[in-house]
Amino acid sequence: MHKLLTDNPGQKMLMLGNEAIARGAIEAGVAFTASYPGTPSSEISLNFFQMSKESDLYFEYSINEKVSVEVSAAAANCGVRSMCVMKHVGMNVAADALLTLAYIGVTGGMVILTADDPFMFSSQNEQDNRYYGKLAGLPVLEPSSVAEAKEMTKQAFELSEALGEPVILRTTTRINHSTGVVELGEITERKTKGDFTKDPMRCVTVPAVSRGLHVKLLANLDKAEEIACTSPLNKVDGSGSLGVIVNGVSYSYVKDGLKDLGATDKVKILRIGFSNPLPKALVLDFIKGCDKVLVVEEGEPFMEEAVKAVAQENGLTLPICGKGEHLFSRLYEFDPKMVRNVMASYFELAPVPSQSVDTSNVPEIPNRPPNLCAGCSHRATFYAVKQATQGMDVMFPSDIGCYTLGFMPPLATGDFVLCMGASTSTSAGFSTVTDKKVISFVGDSTFFHSGIMGLMNAVFNNHNFTLVILDNRITGMTGHQPNPGVDMDEMGFEGYNSIDIEGLVKAAGVKHVSVVRPYNLKKSIAAIKEAVEFEGVSVVIAKEKCTLYAKSLKQLTGKKFQVNPEKCKNHRDCIDTIACPAFTTEGGRVRINEDMCAGCAICAQICPENAILPVKK
């Protein structure tokens, strides 16, 4: 049985934050779940997916985040508890649905999880999604620990039903990817079927209806604020005339910091867990008892500005600070020492002396950037494209996925990366206003997610570029999730269909479509040359399974390769042009690490001396 389905209340379990959130939803009786995978939220979806295979929980990998919100919104409007899960930028994709769903509301609890990524460990920006709560007029809950993430997920469902609208559960990477001890609670029975009661004056958002719904939304916000003011999710710790107002993971840094500074009796803490709408009465009560307040929040001054507004409205003039010089930054993530030091300086407490070792005489360590895996077919495709376009003035818009890593030298096949699906649409703009030949890259999952729209737009508007669809038969970057092109039978799952990318592209009106097997360099280069010469939109589908995925399916059959030292003349074309991590140098000579070699044979096709040969066993 899946460990998160364990029905043993009181048992303690070590859980990843994302597991705790999935467990919280199960305890709340969630019955309908949907997601497009995105780090740092991916393991929540993965656990739902796994549990859906051994219970009556419904889960789907939706084609994108907007669709995941829409399918869930429908279920939640039939009284079924629903949840959708996305990374922070996924909320941008879902925003169109979200902002009007706030007007319609729900009849069953609906929780939308957004996982923000301060420091951008695996993201293209570090937007602060608390503003979506403000923008949509929806409640936002923010846990401070792994154990609390489970509890808060349950409370989010209760709150959603109390208010009749979706609730945003906002985490950051350090909640999603932290691990802690969690105590299991009771599992509420899932109600998997509901019914839709026709109510056009609530559910059909024509202007005449929406004007009334906006009134209801604002009234709901007032109600939410009343709840927030007495909610145990917002709590005051400690005592003193100095005050800290803090949310999320920073709460643990504040608590540890005050203990280290010996200041737990001087500084009291208002921990905000229900952060939108801000509980103004509670904040006022807290700051009234303070001489000085520090707002500790990663990201934007979301609470700080609201707290200052509360002070202003009530004629309070005490110092309230958060972001600024010698205070906190809006950039990146916080850490315990940083929070402790800012508290010490702002509250004029004796700081804890730094004990860091002196690293000034440590030599520079060579970088270890992430790299495409040994045997990755994207590397072969990138090489083939470079060969096919030698001497041409080309540019390469790319997209979001493992293949974004191709931007690094020596492959250097990524010149512009914006957001999911933008490769196809930015290509249209670049090819219209420059004389460069535009060749763009998109992965199979990203193509389905949103790339297809840009391609159809390009066909209709008669643009001129070549799109290379890197079809590795799976969603690679986030850990091998299905997408609409995946063969689910092969993964061992029944009851799905599969969409053929070639047929889809042709149906969209692309006149020049070719399919290549990228490990065959000669044929791939020839097909890419033809596509590039075509006037108009052309598509090359480079079809080869992700090496790691193939390995997991036990389909990796290629022989391992080695360098024959007698034949090798040390041209180094292999190492210099494809940057495969299986290559090393020993005494100035090239070697292949057999443990890493996946047998793709790309290097063997490149070597001018034919010195790279299969290992004879």
Q: What residue ranges bind other proteins (CB under 8 A)? A: 8, 10-14, 39-40, 121-122, 145-146, 173-174, 177-181, 249, 251-253, 255-256, 335-338, 354-359, 361-373, 402, 405, 410, 548, 575-576, 579, 581, 583-585
Q: Between 217 and 590, whose beta carbon lies closer to other proteins?
A: 590
DSSP assigned state of 397: B
**Long-range contacts of the stretch 573-578 (C-beta < 8 A, 24+):** 573/606, 573/607, 573/608, 574/603, 574/606, 574/607, 574/612, 576/410, 577/383, 577/386, 577/410, 577/606, 578/379, 578/383, 578/410, 578/411, 578/602, 578/603, 578/606
Q: Between 181 and 499, whose beta carbon lies closer to other proteins?
A: 181
- Provide the minimum distance between the beta carbon of 433 and other proteins in the complex, in angstroms, as a whole number: 34
SS (H, E, C) 416-455: ECCCCCHHHHHHHHHHHHCCCEEEEEEEHHHHHHHHHHHH
Q: Between 410 and 509, whose beta carbon lies closer to other proteins?
A: 410
Q: Under a CB-based contact definition with an 8 Å cutoff, are residues 8 and 83 in contact?
A: no
- Provide the minimum distance between the beta carbon of 418 and other proteins in the complex, in angstroms, as a whole number: 20
Structure tokens at 27: 């305890």
Helix 377-388 to helix 521-533 angle, to the nearest 10 degrees?
A: 50
Residue 289 dihedral angles phi and psi, to the nearest 5°: -90, 10
Residues ≥6 apart with Cβ < 8 Å to 355 = none
Q: Between 435 and 595, whose beta carbon lies closer to other proteins?
A: 595
Q: Under a CB-based contact definition with an 8 Å cutoff, are residues 370 and 334 in contact?
A: no
- Provide the minimum distance between the beta carbon of 173 and other proteins in the complex, in angstroms, as a whole number: 8
Bridging pattern class, strands 274-276 and 292-296: unpaired
Q: Between 336 and 429, whose beta carbon lies closer to other proteins?
A: 336
- Provide the minimum distance between the beta carbon of 548 and other proteins in the complex, in angstroms, as a whole number: 6
- Provide the minimum distance between the beta carbon of 343 and other proteins in the complex, in angstroms, as a whole number: 14
- Provide the minimum distance between the beta carbon of 580 and other proteins in the complex, in angstroms, as a whole number: 8
Q: Between 39 and 47, whose beta carbon lies closer to other proteins?
A: 39
Q: How many other CB atoms sit within 10 Å of the CB of residue 470?
A: 30
Q: Between 373 and 417, whose beta carbon lies closer to other proteins?
A: 373
- Provide the minimum distance between the beta carbon of 338 and other proteins in the complex, in angstroms, as a whole number: 7
Radius of gyration of the chain (CA): 27
Helix 207-230 to helix 88-104 angle, to the nearest 10 degrees?
A: 110
Q: Between 372 and 505, whose beta carbon lies closer to other proteins?
A: 372
CA-to-CA distance for 150 and 16, rounded, in angstroms?
A: 11
- Provide the minimum distance between the beta carbon of 486 and other proteins in the complex, in angstroms, as a whole number: 19
> Which amino acid, residue 238?
G
Q: How many other CB atoms sit within 10 Å of the CB of residue 171?
A: 30
- Provide the minimum distance between the beta carbon of 306 and other proteins in the complex, in angstroms, as a whole number: 25
Q: Between 367 and 557, whose beta carbon lies closer to other proteins?
A: 367
